[in-house]
Structure 1
């Protein structure tokens, strides 16, 4: 039972990471040019 729960948590974490990473990359693209101005 515990193995099933941990597997679900891992897949949920990977899914969240995949959702969030594009936003992080976009925000980095916006903030980096501002720092160099």
Structure 2
């Protein structure tokens, strides 16, 4: 499976990024998630 790269404008002050990563891992636990930027 190719990596999933996250590029968002969520920032780092709340849990939106963690929630999104949790959903990704719940659907595809073998997925490699890379945080490019959240600003």
TM-score (structure 2 length as normaliser): 0.36
TM-score (structure 1 length as normaliser): 0.37
Higher relative contact order structure (alpha carbons within 8 Å, sequence separation ≥ 6): 2
| Larger of the two Rg values belongs to structure | 1
Higher helix proportion (structure 1 or 2): 1
